[in-house]
Amino acid sequence: MTEQEQYKRTFDTVASSRMQKLEASDIMESRKKNFSFKGVAVALAAVLILISLCGAAYAADLGGIQSKVQVWYRGELTDVTLEITPEGSYTMEFTDENGNPVKHEGGGIAIGPFGKERPLTQDEILEHLNEPEVVYEDDGTVWVYYGAQKTEITDQFDEDGICYVKLVGEGKPIYMTITYMDGYATSGRKFPKPVK
């Protein structure tokens, strides 16, 4: 008698009151009995709810990318909701220091190789939003805001209405040429020619 036959013979004689011999047909029959339409219905309902919520979120966002970011606004690091559409336009909304809602809109395109246009990316829009800003206040003062810097330039305009301001941000100088109430230009190397 081989060793395998001896094991079989020994264990065939061992029986337990809880053990029963199952055939393949018995196992299949057992699985059929445990199938539940109730479980399938619950899973299907969960999938349908998930799909409808995703659709509602997409519809509410109109396909744009909406995120919470921080930008510098008038010398203060501000939490804003920024929504960017696939076309490259954006809407920025937040509450100012007085509790008033503020909304800015803009956008643009970038020109790639061979003159091909593409929408601005979120990083490019954030870079634009964090550029220096010239603000003409109701009280007649003129301010330049850049990052945490707030500089009043009201008395720095010459007789032609031109002001030159050098800012330092992230270790690099930014040269601004500001034409009173008529725009400004920036450069990283030298003062640009006045905007006229």
Enumerate the β-bridge partners of residue 89: 107
Percent pLDDT > 90 in the chain is: 38
**CB-CB contact of 56 with 63 (8 Å):** no
Tell me which DSSP letter residue 145 carries: E
Instruction: Please say whether the dihedral angle defined by the alpha carbons of residues 64, 68, 69 and 73, taken in this order, is positive or negative.
Output: positive
SS3 148: coil
Q: What is the pLDDT of residue 74?
A: 87
pLDDT in tens, 77-129: 899 999 988 888 899 999 988 889 999 999 888 998 899 999 888 888 888 88
Q: What is the pLDDT of residue 11?
A: 61
Give pTM, 2 decimals: 0.60
Give mean pLDDT, residues 173-181.
94
Residue 125, judged by CB atoms within 10 A of its CB (0-12, 13-18, 19+), counts as: buried
Beta carbons within 10 angstroms of residue 88's beta carbon: 19
Q: What is the pLDDT of residue 158?
A: 94
Locate tokens 């008395």: which residue?
155
Give mean pLDDT, residues 158-187.
91
Give dist(CA 8, CA 10) in Å, integer.
Answer: 5
Torsion of CA 66, 130, 117, 184, to 10 degrees: 140
Highest-scoring range by mean pLDDT, 3-7, 94-98, 157-161: 157-161
Tell me which DSSP letter residue 55 carries: H
pLDDT higher than 80, residue 75: yes
**CB-CB contact of 80 with 71 (8 Å):** yes
**CB-CB contact of 90 with 105 (8 Å):** yes
Q: What is the pLDDT of residue 98?
A: 87
175-182 long-range contacts, CB within 8 A, separation 24+: 176/132, 176/134, 176/144, 178/134, 178/142, 178/144, 178/153, 180/142, 181/136
Q: How confident is the model at residue 58 (pLDDT cuts 50, 70, 90)?
A: very low
In the chain, where the domains are located:
23-61, 63-130, 132-196
Give dist(CA 61, CA 91) in Å, integer.
Answer: 12
